[in-house]
C-alpha cells in the first residue's frame, strides 16, 4: 500500500546522524516488553510476518512515528490482538487508563477469531516448480502497481527499468500471504537500477539493488 | 481504532503494561517467555556473530571465497542462520567499491548476525534518503568516500538479507581471528563506517 511506511525517496525527515557505538538494544524497559509482546502476539493470533508488517504499515502517522520503532511495534501488536479478537478493541486503552488511576469499565473478552491459515513450512523460502521467467542480465521494468493491500514493491521503483543481477531463492509472496490468501511462492530477483533511472539526470552516481517478486516485473525492451 | 491510534494518547510504557497484563490474565502468555526473548536479544544475538564471520573471512581465504559465493551456506556453517536471517548475500567493500544496506519499507535486518537494528537504521531520514543521496548521507554519518568509489545501495525488500564484508584495515596482518573480532563494528557490516586500524 502507498502508506507512511513506504519512505524511500521521500523528503522532510531532516539529516541523518552518526551512529552511537554504545547504544543499548532497548533504551527503555517497555521497549523490550513491546518487542517481545509483538512477537508473541503475532504467533498467538495465528498471523505471519507479512501480516505483521502490513499491520505496521496500516498505522496512521502518529502511531507509526511518534513513539519510535518500538512504539510502532506496540501499536501493530495492538492491531494484531484486537483484529484477531484475543482482546476487545477498547481493552488495552481501558486497562492503561486504570493503570494510571482512572476508574473505567473494561470490556469482556471476545471470542478469538484467528485467520483460516497455516504455513506450509517454516520461514519464507519455498521451492517453485516453474523455471524463472527472467534471466540474469535481462532488462526488466518494475510494474506500476498501486494496491490498497500489502506489497513489497515500493513507489520509488515503480515504472523504472533495471537489470536482473541475481536470482534468489523462491519465497512466499507477501502480497497474498499478509492477507491469508495463500503463500503463492514466486521467484525473487535482485534487480539493479542506475541512480539516474530512479532520480533523474542530476542524481548522485550510484547503483541500487532491490529484491523483486516475479509478478512485480515485466520484460523491458 | 486501538489505543495507539487514538487522539487520547496514553504513554507507550503504560499501554505495554496493559497489553501484557491482559494477555497474562487471559492465560495466553507467560511473562517468563517475554523475559527470555528480551534476554536473548540483549545478550546472545548481536553483532558479535557477524564479527566472527568477518574475522574468519579475513583470516581464511577459502572461507572468504565460500562466503562471497554462497553466504547462506558459509554463515550456516558458523550457526547464524535463523529467524530474520534465512538467506544472506555477502558483498565486499574495497578501496574502490562500497556497499551499504537499508530497508526502506520497514527495518529488515540480519538479526542473527547483527542483532536488532540500531536506531539510525530505523530512522526515517536514513530509510528515505540513503537510496537517493547515499554519498551525502554517508558523509552526514561520518563516512567520507572519495569520488572514484562506486557506491551500491541494497534495499532489503524481501527475506534476503545483506551483509557487508568490510575492508580489513592496514596494520592488522599479524592479528589472529580472535584478536580481529573486537575491531569489527556493526556499522561497518551495514556499510556506514569503515573499520579503523587498531
Are residue B70 and residue B153 in the same domain, yes or no?
yes
Do B86 and A166 make contact, defined as CB atoms within 8 angstroms? no
Q: CB–CB of A8/B131 below 8 Å?
A: yes
**Angstrom distances, CA of residue B123 to CA of A23, A145, A198:** 14, 26, 22
CA distance A211 to A31: 30
Residue B166 distance to chain A (closest CA, Å): 17
CATH code at A3? 1.10.472.20
Select from A33, A65, A168 the Cβ nearest to the Cβ of B160.
A168
Domain span holding position A164: 139-219
On chain A, the residues whose CB falls within 8 A of the CB of B157 are: 152-154, 210-212
Measure in Å the smallest separation between the Cα of A8 and chain B Cα atoms: 4
Interface A-B: count of C-beta contacts within 8 A: 265
Q: Which residues of A touch B135 (CB under 8 A)?
A: 204, 206
Same domain for A144 and A103: no
Q: In which domain, by residue range, is B29 found?
A: 10-43
pLDDT confidence of residue B38:
98
A88 interfacial to chain B (CB closer than 8 Å): no
pLDDT of residue B197: 85
- Asked if A108 and A185 sit in the same domain, the reply is no
Catalytic residue among B6, B13, B97, B108: B108
Q: Are A82 and A208 in contact (CB under 8 A)?
A: no
CB contact under 8 A, A40 and B37: yes
Residues 55-114 on B with a CB inside 8 Å of A are 86-87, 89, 104-107
Q: Do B137 and B178 share a domain, yes or no? A: yes
Q: Is residue A179 one of the residues assigned to a domain?
A: yes
**Total number of domains in chain B:** 2
Query: What's the burial of B20, exposed, middle or buried (CB within 10 Å: 0-12/13-18/19+)?
Result: buried
As given in the structure block, the three cell numbers for residue A73 are 511495534
Q: A97 and A170 share a domain? A: no
Residues of chain A with pLDDT under 50: none
Catalytic residue among B6, B13, B97, B103: B103
B145 burial via Cβ count (<10 Å: 0-12, 13-18, 19+): middle
Please indicate whether, in this complex, the C-beta atoms of B132 and A209 are within 8 angstroms of each other.
no
A121 in Cβ contact with A168 (< 8 Å): no
Contacts of B197 (CB under 8 A, 6+ apart): B169, B170, B171, B172
B108 among known catalytic residues: yes
Q: Domains in chain A: how many in total?
A: 2
pLDDT tens string, chain B, 198 residues long: the values are: 444 444 467 999 999 999 999 999 999 999 999 999 999 999 999 999 999 999 999 999 999 999 999 999 999 999 999 999 999 999 999 999 999 999 999 999 999 999 999 999 999 999 999 999 999 999 999 999 999 999 999 999 999 999 999 999 999 999 999 999 999 999 999 999 999 988
Q: Is B103 a catalytic residue?
A: yes
| Interface list for B 128-157 with A (CB within 8 A) | 128-137, 140-142, 150-157
> Pick from A18, A123, A188: which is nearest to B160 by CB?
A188
Whether B106 sits among the annotated catalytic residues: the reply is yes
Neighbours of A47 (CB within 10 A): 23
Q: What is the structure's pLDDT at B9?
A: 79
pLDDT tens-digit map of A79-119: 999 999 999 999 999 999 999 999 999 999 999 999 988 99
Q: Is there a contact between B189 and B54 (Cβ–Cβ < 8 Å)?
A: yes
The CATH number that applies at residue B109 is 3.90.330.10
Chain B residues within an 8 Å CB radius of A37: 16, 19-20, 23, 29, 34
The C-alpha atoms of residue A139 and residue A218 are separated, in whole angstroms, by 9
Residue A174 inside a domain? The answer is yes
Q: Mark whether B96 and B111 lie in a shared domain.
A: yes
pLDDT reported for residue B198: 85
Q: A5, A17, A19, A70: which to substitute to probe chain B, counting the most B Cβ within 10 Å?
A: A19
Alpha-helical (H) ranges within B47-170 are: 47-59, 61-69, 71-76, 111-114, 119-122, 124-129, 134-140
Residue A106 lies in a domain: yes
Q: Taking CA atoms, what residue in A is nearest to B142?
A: A18
- A160-193: b (≥16 Cβ within 10 Å) or e: bbbbbbeebbbbbbbbbbbebeebebbbbbbbbb
Same structural domain, B65 and B120: yes
**Quick one: B27 and B120 in the same domain?**
no
pLDDT value for B8: 66
At residue A158, the pLDDT reads 98
**Residue B3 belongs to some domain of the structure:** no
Residues B108 and B31 in one domain: no
Determine the straight-line distance between the first and last CA of chain B, rounded to whole angstroms.
53
All residues of chain B having their beta carbon less than 8 Å from the beta carbon of residue A206 are 134-135, 150-153
CA dist., res. A54 & res. A59, Å (int): 9
A135–B contact, CB cutoff 8 A: no
Task: Give the pTM.
Answer: 0.96
Q: Nearest to residue A143, comparing CAs of A41, A43, A218, A52?
A: A218
Tell me, yes or no, whether B67 and B33 share the same domain.
no
For residues A91 and A148, membership in a common domain is answered with no
pLDDT value of position A221:
81
Give A130-148 pLDDT, tens digit per residue: 999 999 999 999 999 999 9
The residue out of A68, A95, A112 marking a domain boundary is: A112
Based on the domain organization, do B87 and B32 belong to the same domain? no
Are B139 and B66 part of one and the same domain?
yes
Q: What is the pLDDT of residues B4-54, one digit of tens each?
A: 444 467 999 999 999 999 999 999 999 999 999 999 999 999 999 999 999
What is the distance, to the nearest Å, from the Cα of residue B198 to the centroid of all Cα atoms in its chain?
22
Do A106 and A1 lie in one domain? The reply is yes
Amino acid at each position: 500500500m502507498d502508506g507512511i511506511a513506504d519512505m524511500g525517496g521521500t523528503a522532510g525527515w531532516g539529516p541523518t546522524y552518526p551512529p552511537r557505538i554504545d547504544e543499548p538494544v532497548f533504551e527503555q524497559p517497555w521497549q523490550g516488553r513491546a518487542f517481545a509482546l509483538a512477537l508473541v502476539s503475532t504467533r498467538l493470533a495465528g498471523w505471519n510476518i507479512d501480516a505483521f508488517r502490513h499491520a505496521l504499515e496500516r498505522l496512521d502517522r502518529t502511531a507509526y512515528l511518534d513513539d519510535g520503532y518500538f512504539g510502532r511495534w506496540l501499536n501493530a501488536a495492538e492491531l494484531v490482538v484486537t483484529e484477531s479478537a484475543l482482546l476487545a478493541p477498547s481493552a488495552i486503552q481501558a486497562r492503561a487508563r486504570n493503570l494510571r488511576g482512572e476508574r473505567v469499565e473494561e470490556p469482556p473478552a471476545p471470542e478469538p477469531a484467528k485467520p483460516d491459515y497455516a504455513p506450509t513450512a517454516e520461514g519464507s523460502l519455498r521451492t517453485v516448480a516453474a523455471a524463472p521467467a527472467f534471466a540474469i542480465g535481462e532488462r526488466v521494468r518494475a510494474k506500476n502497481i498501486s494496491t490498497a493491500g500489502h506489497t513489497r514493491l515500493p513507489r520509488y521503483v515503480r515504472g523504472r527499468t533495471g537489470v536482473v543481477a541475481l536470482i534468489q531463492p523462491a519465497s512466499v509472496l507477501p502480497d497474498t500471504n499478509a492477507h491469508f490468501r495463500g503463500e503463492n511462492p514466486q521467484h525473487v530477483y535482485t534487480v539493479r537500477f542506475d541512480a539516474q533511472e530512479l532520480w533523474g539526470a542530476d542524481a548522485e552516481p550510484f547503483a541500487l539493488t532491490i529484491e523483486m517478486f516475479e509478478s512485480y516485473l515485466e520484460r523491458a525492451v | 481504532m486501538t489505543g495507539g491510534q487514538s487522539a487520547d494518547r496514553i504513554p507507550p510504557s503504560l499501554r505495554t503494561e496493559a497489553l501484557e497484563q491482559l494477555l497474562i490474565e487471559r492465560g495466553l502468555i507467560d511473562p517468563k517467555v517475554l523475559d527470555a526473548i528480551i534476554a536473548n536479544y540483549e545478550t546472545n544475538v548481536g553483532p558479535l556473530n557477524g564479527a566472527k564471520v568477518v574475522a574468519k573471512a579475513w583470516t581464511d581465504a577459502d572461507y572468504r571465497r565460500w562466503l562471497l559465493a554462497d553466504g547462506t551456506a558459509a554463515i550456516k556453517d558458523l550457526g547464524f542462520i535463523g529467524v530474520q536471517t534465512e538467506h544472506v548475500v555477502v558483498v565486499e567493500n574495497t578501496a574502490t567499491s562500497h556497499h551499504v544496506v537499508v530497508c526502506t519499507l520497514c527495518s529488515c535486518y540480519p538479526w542473527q548476525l547483527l542483532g536488532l537494528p540500531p536506531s539510525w537504521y530505523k530512522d526515517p531520514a536514513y530509510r528515505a534518503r540513503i537510496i537517493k543521496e547515499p554519498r551525502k548521507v554517508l558523509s552526514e554519518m561520518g563516512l567520507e568516500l572519495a569520488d572514484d568509489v562506486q557506491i551500491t545501495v541494497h534495499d532489503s525488500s524481501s527475506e534476503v538479507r545483506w551483509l557487508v564484508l568490510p575492508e580489513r584495515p592496514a596494520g592488522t596482518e599479524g592479528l589472529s581471528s580472535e584478536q580481529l573480532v573486537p575491531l569489527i563494528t556493526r556499522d561497518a557490516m551495514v556499510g556506514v563506517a569503515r573499520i579503523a586500524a587498531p
